[in-house]
Amino acid sequence: MKFTLRQLKVFTSVAKHSSYTRAAEELFLSQPAVSIQVKQLEGHIGMPLFEQIGKKIHLTQAGREVQHYSHATFQQLKEMEDVLEAMQGLSGGRLDIAVASTINYFAPKLLAAFSHHHPDIDLTLEVTNREMLKKRLLGNERDIILMGQPPAKMDLEATPFMENPLVVIAPPDHPLAKERQIPLQRLAKETFLIREPGSGTRLAMERFFQDRKIRYKTGMAMSQNTAIKQAVRAGMGLAVVSRHTIELEVETGRLQVLDVEEFPIMRTWHIVYPRGKRLSPAAQAFHDFVLSDNLSALSGLS
């Protein structure tokens, strides 16, 4: 059986997107060129790899097997490149990082400090939600993930690197803004703006109130912290957010952190990757940097 790595790469992209068009866009090829590569691979294998049901394409059983082994093949090739880079020393390399959206409020400062120490490493940053981070981990699609609570049912290496306090915020003219030691039960009278289902902040908030048998009213659900902060400023309700995301608004008096009993909710940021993954020299350097004293020395990160 003869086929090329190029054919496997094209097939893998089509399988990932379930689309010849999106694979062509990702690989900077024409759609006919993508189709030809897949047809050639199917010819070498002797079985169809995709089937069309309605307007969508799906992997056949053979396609799922090829996808599994292709993923393993490309991962081993990447590890080979990483080992060879390590033998040459850390003089360059590429680092793909994905972070939770709340971490993005300090991620640029963190990456800038890392780049200062390792200017020859090319960095790529993806900012996304918890569900997408779980998919990235499951597919081993990024070198390093920075997130809150790691998924419990996945086999991961996860190391805490910084505290993440969750606080209750309100507009500065809210009736509770000047009160101290606000009882938790008092919050049951307020409407809370919340993050989308699956959000780590939302899960922590729900667990906190459920454990204390506090019922609260919920307003709009939003997928971005920026939208939540703007809605709170507009008087649409209170919210529980990471303290790291509101430093500017608190300093300028646009938002107020309420003094509520048992708050803040203390959570932790983690540096995460699949267990058994061999980190590239660039990823290992970033891992060590995040866990070193360099992080705590950065102004505003702790």
Please name the fold of domain 164-266.
D-Maltodextrin-Binding Protein; domain 2 (3.40.190)
| Residue that is written with structure tokens 């003219």 in the block | 173
Give the C-alpha separation, 107 to 100, whole Å. Answer: 10
Decide: 109 and 298 in contact? Cβ < 8 Å. yes
Q: Where in the chain is the domain with CATH 3.40.190.10?
A: 92-162+268-297, 164-266
How far apart, in Å, are the Cα atoms of 130 and each of 134, 145, 168, 193?
Answer: 6, 11, 21, 18
Long-range contacts of 292-295 (CB under 8 A, 24+ apart): 294/113, 294/117, 295/110, 295/161, 295/162
The DSSP secondary-structure symbol of 6 reads H
Structure tokens at 64: 């799922």
| Eight-class DSSP state of 260 | B
User: Residue 90's pLDDT is what?
Assistant: 58
pLDDT for 2 equals 83
The answer to whether 170 and 288 have CB atoms below 8 angstroms apart is no
For residue 274, count other CB atoms closer than 10 A to its CB. Answer: 16
How much is the pLDDT for 106? 85
- Please list the pLDDT of the chain residue by residue as tens digits (302 residues): 788 999 999 999 999 999 999 999 999 989 999 999 999 999 999 999 999 888 889 999 999 999 999 988 888 887 787 767 665 555 667 899 999 988 888 888 899 999 988 888 889 999 998 889 999 999 888 999 999 889 888 999 999 998 899 999 999 999 999 999 999 999 999 999 999 888 889 999 999 999 999 988 999 999 888 999 999 999 999 999 999 889 889 999 999 999 999 999 999 999 999 998 888 888 999 999 998 865 554 544 54
pLDDT at 280: 84
Give the pLDDT of residue 299. 43
Q: Where in the chain is the domain with CATH 1.10.10.10?
A: 5-75
CATH of domain 92-162+268-297: 3.40.190.10
Q: Which pLDDT value is given to residue 93?
A: 76
**Measured between alpha carbons, how far is 131 from 143 in angstroms, rounded to an integer?**
17
Residue linked to tokens 């090329």: 4
Amino acid 168: pLDDT: 96
pLDDT of 24: 92
pLDDT of residue 293: 60
**Residue 274 confidence (pLDDT):** 94
- CATH code for the domain defined by 5-75: 1.10.10.10
Q: What is the pLDDT of residue 139?
A: 87
Cβ contacts of residue 48 below 8 Å, gap of 6+?
Answer: 42, 60, 62, 63
Q: Give the number of other Cβ atoms within 10 Å of residue 198's Cβ.
A: 12
Identify whether 281 is preceded by a cis peptide bond (ω within 30 of 0): no
The reported pLDDT for the residue numbered 72 is 86
Residue 50 φ/ψ, nearest 5 degrees: -130, 155
Give this prediction's pTM: 0.67
Q: List, in sequence order, every beta strand (DSSP E) within the chain.
A: 50-53, 56-59, 94-100, 122-128, 144-147, 156-170, 191-195, 217-222, 238-242, 256-257, 265-274
Closest listed residue to residue 71, CA positions, set 21, 16, 31: 16
Instruction: Give the model's pLDDT for residue 259.
Output: 96
